[in-house]
Amino acid sequence: MSTEVALIGGAMSPLTKLMSEPSFDLVRTTIDAAIQDAGVDRAAVDCLAVTPPGMAGHNTSMFVSRLNAHMGLTLKSLACLENGGCSSALALRWAINEVRSGRCRVAVAVGADQRLQTLPEENESWETFLARNVFATMAIYGSYDGPYGLGAPIPYYAMSAQRYMHETGATAEDLAWAAVRLREHAHQHEHATFKGKRLSVDDVLSSKLLSPPLHLADCSQFVSGAAAVVVTSADVARSLERRPVWLRGFGQHHHPSSFTAGAESLTRFPAVQEAAQEAYAEAGIAAGDIDVAEVYGVFSSTELILTEDLGFFPRGQAGAAFREGRSTYGGDVVVDPSGGRLSLGHPACATPLIEVLEILLQLQERAGDRQVPGAEWGLVHAEHGMLNGSQVTVWQGDDQ
Amino acid sequence: MKDIIDQATVRAIEFNADGATRTFFERLRERRFQSTRCGACQQVAYPPRLFCAACGHGEVEWVDLPRRGTLHAFTTQHRSLRFFDPDVLGLVELAGVGFVLSKIDAELDALSIGQEVEVDYLEISGDLVVHQFRPV
C-alpha cells in the first residue's frame, strides 16, 4: 500500500563560479529557504536526504551526520546519496520512498556542489597539487581511460556528438540551435549564469573548438550552488497553502557501463529510454502529453539526443525541432525553461533538484516570466556516467 | 612535472585497481595487448575482469585482443593532464569485444569514421606503458 507523494516547495541558491561560502552555510540556508517556501514547520521535517557537497572529493566523510548536528533537526530518516550526476535525484528518491512507505510525512531532499580552486591552495606545492588532481581525475575515469589524461568528460561527449551527426545527418548548426534555445530561456531566470548574454548560432560556431565537433558554447559551465525541495504525504500537502504537485510516474534504469567501455551506442541510451518508459507507464501517459521538461543535457548534442530518447522527437529530428521552435514556448513541449545546464549553470550534484524546482514552479504556476501557459504535466530527467544510468520522474499539477 | 604526473598515475591505477588491472598493465609493459575471456560463455571482456561480468562464471583466461579494429569516433582534448596538443583520442571498436578508448597516433584531419586501425604501444615511463592505435 503506497501513499501519494506531493512536491510542495523548494529553493535554490545563487550559482557562483567557485564556492562562495562554507558547505554547511550553503546547504543550511538552502534547506531553510525550501522549508519556508513550502510553508511547513521546521520541527515537522522528519526526513533529510542530501548529496556529498560536490564531486571535488573534499569534506565528504560523514558529511550528513555532521551537517544535521549543525542544523539541529530531530529526524526519523537521514541519508547521504551519491552517484555522480544522479546524486540529488537519488536523495529525492530516498525522500519519496520514506514518505510513500508511511514512515515519514515531511521530507527534504537537498543537493549541493561546491567547486574548489583549480590552482594550488595556499601553502600547497605544485607537486602535491598535481598529484592530488591526478588522483581525483583517475578516480572518475578509472584505471583504463584515466591514464590518457582526461581532465573532463568533454572528449566522450564530443565523440557522441560526432557519431550523432554521422548517424543522423545532423549538422553543427543543429547542435548550436540547442544552445541558442537554452540561452533564450535563461534570460528569464534570475540565477542564470548567462542571463542577459545573447547567443546566436554564429556565436556558437565561432566560439573556441574545445573537442571537435563541440565548441565552448556547446558545453555547460560547472558552477557551485545548491537546491532543495520538500515532499510530503497527501494529508500534509492538503493542509498547506501551496498547491501540491503530484508524483505520477517514476523510472530508473542503470546500464552495466560507465562512460564508453561496455556501452552499446554513443547516440542512443537505453537507460534514458527504459527510465522514461517506466515513468510514462506508471503515470498512464505518453511522451506527447508532457507540457514542460527539465533534462540533464550537459552538452548541446546531449540535449538533442535526450529529447529523442525521452520520446519528444523522432530519431534524428531533434535538431530540426529545436530550430523550428518545437522545443520552446508555443511548440510541442518546452524543454528546459530554466535555461538548462548550458545557460542556467551546472552544479552537478545539485542539478537534478534545480530541475525538480523548475518543474515545481511551472506546475504551481509560479514561474513568472518563464511560465509555460497551462502546464499540467512535467518531466524531470537526471543521469550519471555518460547517460549510462538515468532517473525520470513525471509530475502533475493539482486540478483543485 | 611529468615525473610527478606519471608517478601519481601509476599509484592511482594501483589504488583503483581490481585483481585484473595489474596483469593488464604488466602485459602492456611486455608489449602484449590482452584481456580476459570467459571459460563458459567465451565472452571477451574489456576492461579485463577475474570473473565474467556477462554470465557470472568464475573462471577466465588471458587472451590476445584483436590487434586491429575500426575507428568508431575520434576527437581531440585540450586540457589533458598528460599529452599536449594535438592530443587525438579515439574510440576503437574491437570485433566481439566492444569499445576501447585509446590515444590515436595520427593527425585529426587524416582520420575518418570506420577506418581500420592497429594497436601499438606507448611508453609513458618505465612503469607505465599504454596502448595506442594508428591507421593501417
Instruction: Sort strands A334-335 and A292-294 into parallel, antiparallel or unpaired.
Output: parallel
For residue A263, which residues of chain B lie inside 8 Å, CB to CB?
98-99
Peptide bond into A53 cis (omega under 30): no
CB contact under 8 A, B13 and A211: no
Say whether A378 sits in a helix, a strand or coil: strand
CB-closest option in A130, A138, A155 to B77:
A155
Instruction: Using a CB–CB cutoff of 8 Å, tell me whether A154 touches chain B.
Output: yes
Decide the pairing of beta strands A209-211 and A106-113: unpaired
d(CA B98, CA B43): 11
pLDDT value of position A400: 62
Quote the pLDDT of residue A20. Answer: 61
d(CA A135, CA A161): 28
Burial class (CB in 10 A: 0-12, 13-18, 19+), B37: buried
Please say if the pLDDT value at position B43 is more than 50.
yes
Mean pLDDT of B27-56: 97
Judging contacts by C-beta atoms under 8 Å, the chain A residues touching residue B102 are 148
In what order do the strands lie in the sheet containing A106-113? A77-80, A47-50, A106-113, A225-233, A5-12, A245-254, A389-397, A377-384, A292-294, A334-335
Q: How far is A378 from chain B (nearest CA, A)?
A: 35
- Tell if the CB–CB gap between B16 and A263 is shorter than 8 Å: no
Q: Best residue in B44, B77, B109 to probe A by mutation, most A CBs within 10 Å?
A: B77
**Can you name the residues that pair with A382 across neighbouring β-strands?**
A391
C-alpha–C-alpha distance, residues B30 and B23, integer Å: 10
- B98-104 and B128-135 as β-strands: parallel, antiparallel, unpaired? parallel
User: Which chain B residue has its CA at the smallest distance from A157's CA?
Assistant: B75
Q: In A, which residues are within 8 Å of B130 by CB distance?
A: 147-148
Distance from CA of B93 to the nearest CA of A (A): 10
Q: Is A151 on the interface with B (CB under 8 A)?
A: yes
Please compute the mean of the pLDDT values over residues B34-63 and round it to a whole number.
Answer: 97
Phi and psi, residue B62, nearest 5°:
-80, 130
Selecting from A130, A147, A261 the residue whose C-beta is nearest the C-beta of B13 gives A147
A353 torsion bin: left (phi>0), alpha (psi -120 to 50), beta (else): alpha
pLDDT, average across residues B54-61: 96
Nearest to B17 among A127, A134, A143 (CB): A143
Residue of B nearest to A161 (CA): B73
The pLDDT assigned to B79 comes to: 72
Give me A187's grid cell: 534570460
pLDDT at site A121:
74
> Tell me, what's the pLDDT at A1?
40
A172-186 and A154-168 helices cross at what angle (nearest 10)? 120
Cβ density class A333-360: b for 16+ within 10 Å, e for less: bbbbbbbbbbbbbbbbbbbbbbbbbbbb
Size of interface A-B (CB pairs under 8 A): 127
ipTM of the complex in this document: 0.96
Q: Is A127's CB within 8 Å of B77's CB?
A: no
| Helix axes of A300-309 and A270-283: crossing angle, nearest 10 degrees | 50
Q: Do B101 and A130 touch (CB under 8 A)?
A: no
Q: Is the pLDDT of residue B4 over 50?
A: yes
Q: Does A256 touch chain B (CB under 8 A)?
A: yes
Chain A: nearest CA to B15, how far in angstroms? 9
Q: A148 and B89 in contact by Cβ < 8 A?
A: yes
Contact present, A233 and A3 (Cβ < 8 Å): yes
- Asked whether the beta carbons of residue A163 and residue B73 sit closer than 8 angstroms, the reply is yes
Q: Is the pLDDT of residue B24 over 80?
A: yes
Q: pLDDT digit string (tens) for A242-273?
A: 999 999 999 999 999 999 999 999 999 999 99
Nearest-CA distance B61 → chain A (Å): 19
CB A379 within 8 A of CB A360: no
Q: Which ranges of chain A have pLDDT less than 50?
A: 1
